[in-house]
Amino acid sequence: MAFSMTGYGRGEATYTTRRYLVEIKSVNNRFCDIQVRMPRGYAALETKIREKISDRLMRGKIDVYVTIEDVGDGNQTVELNEGLAKAYSEAVAKIADVTGRADETEAYQIARFSDVLVARANSLTPDEAGAELFPVLDAAIEDICRMRTIEGDKLVSDLKEKVNIFESQHAAVKLRAPLVPKEYRERLMNRIQELLDDKANLVYDESRREAEVAIFADKCAIDEELTRLSSHMNQLRETLDSRGSIGKRLDFILQEMNREVNTIGSKANDITITNYVLDMKTELEKIREQIQNLA
């Protein structure tokens, strides 16, 4: 079972007057890059949040949005900065004395000065908040894993179809490869006959001709590359059927397959095989693009 790196998950719950909402979004990335956005007062929970997400999602650029709201009465307190209020009052009285005006400042006016009254939310301790938040986080993780699994299954199905196409191209090259030296031999004989006519056997005897054909056959031999390519295809299929994070392994296998295909193209010395190689490289590129979406 493979997983896509693209997905969205959501978890939500309310405890008494507190509402928790966790949203997780992920897109493609070579590594596990987690960004957490949450209220500042709960920053102590971020490490645990990261651990829970990285254990399950493994790869991708992952954005986590945590919302914690207390919608009940009595969840706010107002604190008085007594020293600052007294300083403001003394300053106002001094202004009145310096200017010769009456000091008619009332308490509510001093209360409106900056930082005299400070409203604070009644926040939970990290342990209390974690006990309520983590089940919501787990629900969001399950939700995004479900979506990534569905997308991963679709990607694997598409990849297997592309591997089937590549395998048919590989089979065509394998059938064509033994014919290349034979056709070269025929072309060589025809060319010698055309140039030397009835003196062909005197100037270019059969042993010399066969030696040249053997040299050509050795240079264009691609049996080893085809065998290794077949092995890589088997590994590719086995990996697609395995569980967990398979994207990096698939990427490595694909690099090896591409290397073998390039070698076949450079050694084959045959226009038909060259055309097959171009088709194989095109299919490998399609496979590579899809693999980038797998975790």
Q: Which whole number is the average pLDDT over 123-132?
A: 83
Give domain limits for the chain.
7-72+125-148, 76-121, 149-291
Residue 105 has what pLDDT?
A: 83
> Lowest-pLDDT range, 2-16, 208-222, 259-273?
208-222
CA–CA gap between residue 157 and residue 270 (Å, rounded): 33
More confident: 6 or 129: 6
Q: How confident is the model at residue 92 (pLDDT cuts 50, 70, 90)?
A: confident
Asked whether the predicted pLDDT for residue 72 surpasses 60, the reply is yes
The hierarchical CATH code for the domain 7-72+125-148 is 3.30.230
Residue 132 has what pLDDT?
A: 92
Beta bridge partners, 15, equal 18
Give the 3-state secondary structure of the chain. Answer: CCCECCEEEEEEEEECCEEEEEEEEEECCCCEEEEEECCHHHHHHHHHHHHHHHHHHCCEEEEEEEEEEECCCCCEEEEECHHHHHHHHHHHHHHHHHHCCCCCCCHHHHHCCCCCEEEEECCCCHHHHHHHHHHHHHHHHHHHHHHHHHHHHHHHHHHHHHHHHHHHHHHHHHHHCCHHHHHHHHHHHHHHHHHHHHHHHHHCCHHHHHHHHHHHHHHCCCHHHHHHHHHHHHHHHHHHCCCCCCHHHHHHHHHHHHHHHHHHHHHCCCHHHHHHHHHHHHHHHHHHHHHCCEC
Residue 106 has what pLDDT?
A: 86
Amino acid sitting at position 93? A
Asked whether the predicted pLDDT for residue 110 surpasses 90, the reply is no
Q: How confident is the model at residue 111 (pLDDT cuts 50, 70, 90)?
A: confident
Asked whether the predicted pLDDT for residue 76 surpasses 70, the reply is no
Other Cβ atoms within 10 Å of 86 Cβ, number: 12
